[in-house]
Structures are given as C-alpha cells and as structure tokens.
Amino acid sequence: GAAARRPEGRRRQALHYDKIFYVGENDLYVPKDETGKYKTYETPGESYADPTEVMRRLIPTHVVFNGRVGSLTGKNALTAKVGETVMIVHSQANRDTRPHIIGGHGDYVWETGKFTNPPEKDLETWFIRGGSAGAALYTFREPGIYAYVN
C-alpha cells in the first residue's frame, strides 16, 4: 500500500482533483511443476519454499495491478468524465516501473510521491522507483477509453 499526506504550512496555489485512484503494481512469483503448469498448494505454509526459490531469480512470473488480472478492466475500470481531474497514486514494491496513460499524460507528476517537492509537468511517462510510490494528476479533455499501462 501507499500513504499520502498533504503538506502543512504551504501557501502555494492548491491543486484540486475530483477523484483519486490507487494502483498497486504487484509482482507474483508462482512456481511451475514438472509439466510446466503453475503449482497450487493446500496452505500458505506449504507454498513457502517453492516461491522463495522463484523469487531468488528476481524475475516475476506475473505482474498485475491491484493484486489480480482484470482488477482495473471491464466492470472494474476506473472512470472519469470529460473535465474531471483525477489523481492516480501508483506504488510498486519491488521493481522500477514507468506508468503512462495512453491518450493522456501526467499534467502534474510527483515521481517520488513527495508532495513537498514541486511536481514535474506534462510528462508522457513517469518513473517510479521500486519500493516507492508516485502520483500524477490528469484532467480528461476528450471522451474515450484511456489505457493506464506500465
């Protein structure tokens, strides 16, 4: 998860948003059996050794948003109306990541998630270090489907 706090004592012109979305980017390390199928286990305790071995290679078998495939698509899609400003807070526990809104950009971006720092402006893609979180504000100017990718 990620936590964000507005800085106190700042008198600059405040940026406003209509909605805030949290996107947690998760790396999963799922071992395969001798036939190439992903393993399943009866209990979490039984699964400890095999995933640990997969993790040592530092290459995830799956990368998902908010813990599962499809968590931000279909009926789970994040929605905004034309003219709405959305803040997206994106965290990544392990690896560096580079989010991007296809069809949009970050009007204001805090790549390190530190709101006391001045934001970068008008970034197509931004950089979030592994073990960190960042945030971006975007005002939707046109109707349509926008894809949020890394």
Domain extent for 83: 19-28+64-143
Number of domains in the chain: 1
CATH code of residue 77 = 2.60.40.420
Residue 116 falls inside a structural domain: yes
pLDDT of residue 8: 55
CB 95 within 8 A of CB 59: no
Domain-located, residue 71: yes
* pLDDT at residue 4 tops 90: no
Whether residue 42 is contained in a domain is answered as no
Classify residue 48: in a domain, yes or no.
Answer: no
The verdict on pTM exceeding 0.85 is no
What are the pLDDT digits (tens) for 12-55?
A: 678 899 999 999 999 999 999 999 999 999 998 888 888 888 98
CA gap 52, 43 in Å, rounded = 15
What pLDDT, on a 0 to 100 scale, did the predictor assign at position 133? 94
Does residue 3 form part of some domain? Answer: no
pLDDT of 134 strictly over 90: yes
Percent of the chain at pLDDT > 70 equals 92
Q: Which of 147, 10, 17 is nearest to 89 (CA)?
A: 17
Q: Say if 39 falls within a structural domain.
A: no
